[in-house]
């Protein structure tokens, strides 16, 4: 199946990222402007300017948005900061925070963009009760992440052009690392659909692709006039619509940085909710 997405909002984001659907709305961020955005189907575009590093958004429950904002996790209610969880020295140790996702156990996983000359300085960490714990290191650029219903993780390492599969042990720790799919391009954000099909946004490719469990490409969604596709998610009341973000970084294209929508013949899965009450390692200010 080959689909051309429709332009939804000509937002011109420098670096749109972290497309999510929860609470009856689409949510995403613009990393370059430090903004969190949201829009309901048929409703207006809403924006919260936070400034600084804002790399991911997630469902924090009780009608709130969770936001990965550099060395802190924020909880927003109606666009205003309600709670803040500092993560001291995390960015200094592991580089800028990047994409993030909540697993079926309610734990928050966050990747980083490494700093310095080390090409494999990026890591993937998880916020546990004791605080942030690095669960994978030696990555080129930790990017898109999602989990199936059993808790198996799919995780993009961009410059290795691979999406890994992490099978979990009974203790909830990574027990086995496998190569799920190697792509022709740079994998950025990703998500799983209801049939556990793997959807990958391809930076520089002007498209997103779906792969089945056997690694066979089954679907393509194209974003006309925007080559830097950064993230995607399923949304809408029936989870039958795909929402895609793009970036204007380093390109001069008519729709660079816009957000798109497309219809496909599969449906998505609901986002997991961060159970922050258990995350006592993130002290509350």
Is residue 88 within 8 Å of residue 256, measured between CB atoms? Answer: no
Assign 276 a pLDDT band (cuts: 50, 70, 90): confident
Per-residue pLDDT tens for 246-270? Answer: 999 999 999 999 999 999 999 999 9
CA distances in angstroms from 86 to 101, 122, 281, 284, listed in the order given? 18, 20, 10, 7
Two tokens, residue 70: 């550099």
Q: Kindly tell me if the per-residue pLDDT of 16 is higher than 50.
A: yes
Task: Report the C-alpha gap between 191 and 204 in whole angstroms.
Answer: 18
pLDDT of residue 126: 93
C-alpha Rg value of the chain to the nearest Å: 17
| Residue 90, CA atoms < 13 Å, CB-side half-sphere | 28
- Mind listing the pLDDT tens digit for each residue in 85-101? 988 666 667 788 999 99
**pLDDT for 119:** 84
Q: How far apart are CA 160 and CA 199, in angstroms?
A: 17
Query: Confidence band (pLDDT; 50, 70, 90) for 280?
Result: very low
The pLDDT assigned to 200 comes to 98
Average pLDDT of the residues in 144-153: 96
For 215-247, the pLDDT digits (tens) are 999 999 999 999 999 999 999 999 999 999 999
Tens of pLDDT, residue by residue over 28-74, are 999 999 999 999 989 999 999 998 989 999 999 999 999 999 889 99
Q: What is the pTM of this model?
A: 0.94
How many residues appear in the chain? 285
DSSP string, 148-189: -TT--EEEEEGGGTEEEEEEE-TTSSEEEEEEEEE-SSEEEE
Sign of the torsion angle spanned by Cα atoms 225, 96, 235, 78: negative
What b-and-e string marks burial along 131-160, b requiring 16 or more CB atoms within 10 Å of the CB?
ebeebbeebbbbbbbbbeeeebbbbbbbeb
Whether 223 contacts 260, CB under 8 Å? yes
């Amino acid at each position: 199946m080959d689909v051309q997405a429709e332009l939804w909002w000509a937002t011109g984001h420098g670096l749109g990222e972290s497309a999510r659907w929860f609470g009856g709305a689409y949510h995403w961020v613009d990393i370059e402007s430090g903004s969190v955005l949201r829009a309901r189907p048929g409703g207006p575009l809403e924006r919260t300017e936070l400034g600084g590093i804002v790399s991911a958004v997630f469902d924090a429950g009780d009608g709130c948005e969770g936001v990965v904002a550099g060395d802190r996790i924020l909880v927003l209610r109606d666009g205003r900061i309600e709670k803040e969880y500092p993560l001291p020295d995390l960015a200094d140790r592991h580089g800028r925070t990047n994409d993030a996702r909540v697993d079926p156990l309610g734990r928050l996983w966050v990747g980083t963009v490494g700093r310095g000359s080390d090409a494999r300085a990026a890591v993937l960490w998880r916020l546990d009760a004791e605080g942030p714990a690095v669960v994978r290191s030696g990555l080129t650029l930790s990017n898109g992440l999602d989990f199936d219903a059993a808790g198996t993780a799919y995780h993009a390492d961009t410059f290795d052009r691979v999406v890994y599969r992490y099978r979990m042990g009974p203790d909830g720790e990574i027990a086995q690392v496998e190569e799920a799919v190697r792509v022709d391009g740079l994998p950025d954000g990703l998500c799983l659909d209801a049939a556990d099909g793997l959807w990958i946004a391809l930076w520089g490719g002007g498209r997103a692709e779906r792969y089945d469990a056997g690694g066979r490409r089954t679907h393509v969604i194209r974003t006309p006039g925007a080559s830097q596709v950064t993230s995607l998610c399923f949304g809408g009341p029936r989870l039958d619509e795909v929402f895609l973000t793009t970036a204007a970084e380093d390109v001069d294209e008519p729709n660079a940085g816009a957000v798109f929508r497309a219809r496909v013949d599969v449906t998505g899965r609901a986002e997991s909710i961060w159970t922050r009450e258990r995350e006592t390692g993130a002290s509350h200010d």
